[in-house]
Structure 1
Amino acid sequence: MTDLVSYSVSDGVAHIELNRPEVSNAVDLPTAHAFDDAVKEAAADDAVRVVLLTGAGKRFCAGGDVASMVASDGDQSAYLLELAGALDGALQRLAALEKPVVAAVQGAVAGAGLGVMLSCDLVVAAPGTKFVIAYPGVGLTPDCGVSWLLPRAIGQQRALQMALTNRPIDSDRALDWGLVTEVGEQDRAVELAGELAAGSVFAFGQARRLVRGSFESDRASVGRDEAETIAKAVATDDAQRLLTAFTKR
């Protein structure tokens, strides 16, 4: 990777970290491409069983880099179209991984940062973290899947409240609304990633695929997909190991 996004693998966990703490990990075009490269590497590496996503410094992610938009040469519309497309492509790739993804967030999660967070499966938010949609404050509209992901996480009316009032919510309310999984420190996210790495990567990866894909499918199609997938799952080494252990209890 580059200095903009760090990447490492240990004990089956790929750790991807946004690494622009001086700008609250705001994403400019080079960062979006570096993030996409990290996701591709995690997807391609069979040694990776789980992805852990973090942001360096005091804040997880401030969304798109407004300064880079203002400073972009030429057409700002063209720059934003390229930036939003690049980051959204990376997030769709992250959401489509057939490996579970854990996020640890802290400080602030704003704008497209919500899209980054909601592309993960389990989210541990540090106490005091603020969540804000942010776009109205600079006269812009949601991107990077936020208008699709947010109402599915917290419901349409709450999503509209965030989108139209631009008022932040804190970590306790985020937990109550279902925006995050737990409130805790980053160590808890590391612990969760380790627990998942010790389980069945096929089962976890397929479970996230089934749940995330269910919004775009009908009940009968989901049932067929589930039946075909569980038939494949039972033949995996992890399933055979866990089934044998279960029968010996």
Structure 2
Amino acid sequence: MSVRWEYTGGVGRITLDRPEVANALDLPTARELAEAVTAAEAGDVRVVLLTGAGARFCAGGDVGSFLAAEEPPEYLHELASGVEAALRRLSGLPKPVVAGVRGAVAGAGLAFVLNADVVVAARSTKFRMAYAGIGLTPDCGVSYLLPRAIGTQRALELALTGRTLSAEEAREWGLVTEVVDDDALDGRAAALAGALADGPAGALGQAKRLIRSSFEVSRARSAADEAETIAAAVRTSEAQQLIERFTAR
């Protein structure tokens, strides 16, 4: 298995599990990722935690796998399309996605970070586009999502100059949420996921949807969606219980 799926106490955990190749992505991994996202769609999963096995989170595409393919262009097209589709489904889930990253986040590995809602990075983590170093171009949604996360000029700098970002720089640029000591990463990411799983799942999922969809609609449409969503939310048992608790203080 290249991708592990585990479920405990409302938290579904997706682990990239090819540590011998820095969790690089090949076609079997793309297919198993899609299966894991399908498992995460289940109603009892309140939060998704995304991690990588071993010392490095994800080095991007598995160069050896597509060089070994009979038709590298077709292989790369299927790989890039498959990973992007799975990650787009992941980001569209009506539940928070937490990522815990360490070591290296390169190439398509950035797509996992960009599709997560809360990202915790180990202090030693390095972030790099990496595509141009082997004469290739961004894939898996990176060219769409990265400028929206950090701005066009910074995205262009990473893509064109090969600059490597430290974890602290990634936090300052808005690519990650927080940075922790390396030995604290697993505990912090799990604690965040657990706290979100204990929170108001419906409200959190809808807040995520509103924010992520705002780039693709007009301000008027976004405002109308907000009004419709909050009006529907106030009728839910989740909101009614929390409002009653709030007013009873």
Task: Quickly name the TM-score band, shorter chain normalised.
Answer: over 0.9
Note if contact 1:49-1:197 (Cα within 8 Å) is conserved in structure 2: yes
CA distance in 2 between counterparts of 1:38 and 1:235 reads 32
| Match of residue 4 from structure 2 | 6
In structure 2, the partner of 1:19 is 17
Matched, 1:67 2:53: no
TM-score, normalised by the number of residues in structure 1: 0.97
Does the CA contact (< 8 Å) of 1:199 and 1:238 recur in 2?
Answer: no
Determine if the alignment matches structure 1 residue 130 to structure 2 residue 118: no
Q: Equivalences for 1:96-175 in 2 at 5 Å? A: 96-175=92-171
Once residues 190 and 122 of structure 1 are traced to their aligned partners in structure 2, the CA distance between those partners, rounded to angstroms, is 12
CA RMSD of aligned residues (A): 0.8
Q: How far does the alpha carbon of each residue in 1:42-74 deviate from its partner, in whole angstroms, 9 at most, with x for none?
A: 11x11100000000000001111111011112x
Q: How many residues align?
A: 245
Q: Match for 2:199: what amino acid?
A: G
Deviation per residue, 1:109-162 (Å, 9 max, x gap): 000110111100000000110000010011000001101111111111111110
Shift in Å, 1:27: 0.6
The answer to whether structure 1 residue 58 and structure 2 residue 55 are counterparts is yes
Say if 2:185 is the partner of 1:189. Answer: no
Query: What residue is the counterpart of 2:219 in the other structure?
Result: 219
Distance 1:233 1:40 in 2: 26
Q: Distance in 2 between matches of 1:21 and 1:232?
A: 45
Q: Quick one: which of 25, 34, 37 aligns to 1:36?
A: 34
Amino acid at match of 2:113: M
Amino acid at match of 2:232: K
Post-superposition CA distance 1:183-226 (Å, at most 9, x none): 02121111111111111111111111111110000011001101
What CA distance in whole angstroms lies between the structure 1 residues aligned with 2:85 and 2:144? 14
Tell me the distance in 1 between the aligned counterparts of 2:223 and 2:126. 38
Percent sequence identity is 58
Residue 127 of structure 2 aligns to a residue in which SS?
A: strand
SS at match of 2:51: strand
Residues in 2 aligned to 1:234 and 1:20: alpha-carbon distance in whole angstroms: 44
How far 1:244 sits from its partner (Å)? Answer: 1.0
* Cα contact 1:50–1:100 (8 A) shared by 2: yes
Task: Give 1:235 deviation, angstroms.
Answer: 1.9
SS of alignment partner, residue 99 of structure 1? coil
Task: Give the structure 2 partner of residue 78 of structure 1.
Answer: 74
Offset, 1:237: 2.1
Give the whole-Å Cα distance in 1 for the aligned partners of 2:38 and 2:245: 34
- Find the aligned partners of 1:166 and 1:24 in 2 and give their Cα distance: 19
Asked if structure 2 preserves the Cα contact closer than 8 Å seen for 1:13 and 1:51, the reply is: yes
Moved over 3 A (4+): none
Q: Which amino acid aligns with 1:111?
A: G
Distance 1:11 1:236 in 2: 22
The CA distance in 2 between the partners of 1:59 and 1:241, in whole Å, is 42
Distance 1:114 1:85 in 2: 15
- Supply the distance in 1 between the matched residues of 2:123 and 2:18 (Cα, whole angstroms): 22
Gaps of at least 5 residues in structure 1 are none
Amino acid aligned to 2:31: H
Give yes or no for contact 1:126–1:186 (8 Å, CA) kept in 2: no
